Amino acid sequence: MYGFGTAAVRGRPSVLRKAVVALLLIAATPFVLTLIYTVVPPVSTPMLARWLTLRPVTRTWVPLANVSPALPRAVIVSEDARFCVHAGVDWQAISLVMDRDGGPNRGASTITMQVAKNLFLWQGAPYLRKPFEIVLAHWIDLVWSKRRVMEVYLNIAEWGPDGVFGAEAGARRAFGKSAARLSAREAAVLTAALPNPVLRDPKRPSRHASTLASVIIRRAGNAAGLTGCLAR
């Protein structure tokens, strides 16, 4: 009896050690993948979820040079006006949202934070997710250029129902043309579909989405200099 008890006690530290090592490896994975994704086109967790459940995914990766400048400009004025000046997290916006709404929501999420969430994290439970999102956003901003952040964002964003991801697939589905040929109006309609392109289908924009697109066009026209960090 004594011998068996001793073996059980001795076995516990080994199991605990293995559990700690496993957790550390899981925690390190996003940081390592970020380095790999500096040059390798990444896939997002929503894309992986669709593949794992045998649902279709449509995505054609294109470099930022093959995307109309109107689209990143529209995305910046709509989603993250301080994209070029913050270090992945806009603490000023987070503070304003916390004071106004009493909690985190999309209004406090920068483009970099959205990239971190879509690449490595889950979609719900923002109170639990935000701390991880913030840490990863700072890491991504440290490792990648702003141009790379925008390039990845435009290629992993969901832009239509039935698994349409990325600007190229979204533009071809909605307008029958490549992302490189998007007009300012079309770029604004795509941007207005965020964050829910299933309900706000850019191929059939609602009156509200069309009005929002007009606002985005007006803001983009008055946003000279906001996209300077995207230059090569």
Between 166 and 100, whose confidence is greater? Answer: 166
What is the model's pLDDT at position 11?
Answer: 56
> What is the spatial distance between Cα 140 and Cα 136, in angstroms, rounded to a whole number?
6
Q: What mean pLDDT do residues 95-124 have? A: 76
User: Across-strand partners of 58?
Assistant: 164
Residue 84: pLDDT band with limits 50, 70, 90: very high
What is the model's pLDDT at position 232?
Answer: 74
Neighbours of 137 (CB within 10 A): 26
Q: What mean pLDDT do residues 87-111 have? A: 71
What is the model's pLDDT at position 229?
Answer: 92
> What is the spatial distance between Cα 169 and Cα 178, in angstroms, rounded to a whole number?
8
Q: What percent of the chain has pLDDT above 90?
A: 67
> What is the spatial distance between Cα 207 and Cα 89, in angstroms, rounded to a whole number?
32
By CB atoms closer than 10 A (0-12, 13-18, 19+), residue 2 is exposed
What is the model's pLDDT at position 99?
Answer: 55
Rounded to two decimals, what is the model's pTM?
Answer: 0.88
Q: What mean pLDDT do residues 197-215 have? A: 91
Whether the predicted pLDDT of 8 surpasses 60? no
Q: What mean pLDDT do residues 7-24 have? A: 74
Single out the residue of 88, 82, 21, 78 nearest to residue 195, CA to CA. Answer: 78
What is the model's pLDDT at position 104?
Answer: 47
Q: Which segment of 11-20, 50-59, 115-124, 137-146 scores lowest on mean pLDDT? A: 11-20
pLDDT in tens, 149-160: 999 999 999 999
> What is the spatial distance between Cα 44 and Cα 118, in angstroms, rounded to a whole number?
5
Q: What mean pLDDT do residues 85-102 have? A: 76
Please spell the DSSP secondary structure of 6-50, one letter per residue.
HHHHHHHHHHHHHHHHHHHHHHHHHHHHHHHTTTSPP--HHHHHH
Query: How open is the CA angle 211-212-217, to the nearest 5 degrees?
Result: 100
Query: How open is the CA angle 88-93-96, to the nearest 5 degrees?
Result: 155
pLDDT in tens, 129-147: 999 999 999 999 999 999 9
Residue 107: pLDDT band with limits 50, 70, 90: low
CB 116 within 8 A of CB 140: yes
What is the model's pLDDT at position 100?
Answer: 57
CA distance to 14, 57, 98, 195, per residue, from 102 (Å)? 44, 36, 5, 21
> What is the spatial distance between Cα 211 and Cα 194, in angstroms, rounded to a whole number?
14
Average pLDDT of every residue of the chain: 89
Whether the predicted pLDDT of 30 surpasses 50? yes
